[in-house]
């Protein structure tokens, strides 16, 4: 495994690989790697001859300075895990390398509509930061395939649309969420939970599964369903952030043509924001009755 902090050296290695006709897969991360990330790496290995992983805590996608500062950074342990997975190249740039003139003077990429709805409405600039850094990393690595986790459902939708709109020749693959034994979605932020918080954290997934079971049973009074779910979270001392029930293909409101719904949830445990989502097939649901406010 080779590790690079500068763009030129990594590009030189990848140009050589391309000349040899080798297919390249890419997994962008912010580090603090867990089994979910390693699942992405294994999926990438299935798709290509070479696997490139980036580790970069991107300041452009954080709207709160304390959240950026508190994000776990475990580079030595991350590199050990990637080496065990036989990753070929790891890119570990600094903010000074990625944003040499600072964030305010850097060109940005923004996906309209998708970046400003749902989570984007409550986190202004977040998806602009995501699409900008992913585009820049794509330009540096120029992969054939890129793997992203489906846990960040809206982020994946933003990236897929960006790739389509900019005619990037990259196959973006969504990989199902990896969960702990108690069904908590794996996340780098889970390491920041206290023992007590970690014990309560699975309530988010449990409530999400309850919503999906209600929907599969035919319940479609979505505003009331969301209100009931909110009460369940609060009863377990989670602070609900957002709950949405939307069309899984467009992220717009459900309508008579919707075939799949996605339940998108987020809640706070202390200072840690947890997110999760699940898909609900609508083929057996005959009518719709409103949406969340």
In the block, residue with structure tokens 């982020």? 155
d(CA 152, CA 142): 22
Q: Which two tokens stand for residue 100?
A: 């040499």
Residue 292 has pLDDT above 70, yes or no: no
- Global pTM reads 0.92
β-pairing verdict for 2-4 and 24-29: unpaired
Confidence of residue 284 (pLDDT cuts 50, 70, 90): low
Q: Please confirm, yes or no, whether 37 is among the known catalytic residues.
A: yes
Give the mean model confidence (pLDDT) for residues 5-34.
96
Residue 289: predicted pLDDT: 45
Domain locations in the chain as residue ranges: 2-175, 188-281
pLDDT digit string, tens, across residues 225-267: 999 999 999 999 999 999 999 999 999 999 989 999 999 999 9
Confidence band for 12, pLDDT divided at 50, 70 and 90? very high
Average pLDDT estimate for 109-132? 95
Report the CATH number of the 188-281 domain. Answer: 3.30.1300.10
218: tokens are: 């035919």
pLDDT tens for each residue of 73-89: 999 999 999 999 999 99
- Whether pLDDT at 293 is above 60: no
Q: Give residue 126's pLDDT.
A: 95
Question: Which one of 34, 37, 106, 116 is the catalytic residue?
Answer: 37
- Is the CB of residue 54 less than 8 Å from the CB of residue 146? no
| 63: confidence class by pLDDT, cuts 50, 70, 90 | confident
Arithmetic mean of pLDDT over the chain: 94
Residue 10 has pLDDT above 60, yes or no: yes
Residue 285 pLDDT: 59
Residue 287 has pLDDT above 80, yes or no: no
Q: What is the CATH number of domain 2-175?
A: 3.40.50.620
């Amino acid at each position: 495994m080779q590790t690079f902090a500068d763009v030129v050296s990594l590009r030189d290695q990848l140009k050589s690989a391309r000349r040899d006709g080798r297919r390249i897969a890419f997994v962008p991360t912010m580090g603090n790697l867990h089994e979910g990330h390693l699942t992405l790496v294994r999926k990438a290995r299935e798709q290509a001859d070479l696997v490139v992983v980036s580790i970069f805590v991107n300041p452009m996608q954080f709207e709160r300075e304390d959240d950026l500062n508190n994000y776990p950074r475990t580079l030595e342990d991350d590199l050990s895990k990637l080496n065990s997975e036989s990753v070929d190249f790891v890119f570990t740039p600094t903010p000074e390398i990625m944003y040499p003139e600072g964030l305010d003077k850097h060109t940005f990429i923004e996906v309209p509509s998708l970046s400003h709805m749902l989570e984007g409405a409550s986190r202004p600039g977040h998806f602009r930061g995501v699409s900008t850094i992913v585009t820049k990393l794509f330009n540096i690595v120029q992969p054939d395939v890129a793997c992203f986790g489906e846990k960040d459902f809206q982020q994946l939708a933003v990236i897929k649309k960006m790739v389509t709109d900019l005619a990037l020749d990259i196959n973006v693959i969504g990989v199902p969420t990896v969960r702990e034994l108690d069904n908590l979605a794996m996340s780098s932020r889970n390491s920041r939970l206290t023992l007590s918080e970690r014990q309560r954290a699975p309530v988010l997934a449990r409530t999400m599964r309850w919503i999906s079971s209600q929907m599969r049973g035919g319940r479609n009074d979505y505003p009331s369903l969301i209100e009931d779910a909110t009460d369940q979270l609060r009863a377990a001392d989670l602070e609900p952030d957002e709950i949405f029930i939307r069309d899984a293909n467009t992220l717009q409101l459900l309508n008579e043509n919707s075939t799949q719904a996605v339940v998108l949830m987020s809640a706070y445990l202390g200072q840690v924001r947890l997110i999760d989502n699940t898909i609900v097939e609508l083929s057996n649901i005959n009518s719709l009755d409103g949406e969340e406010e």
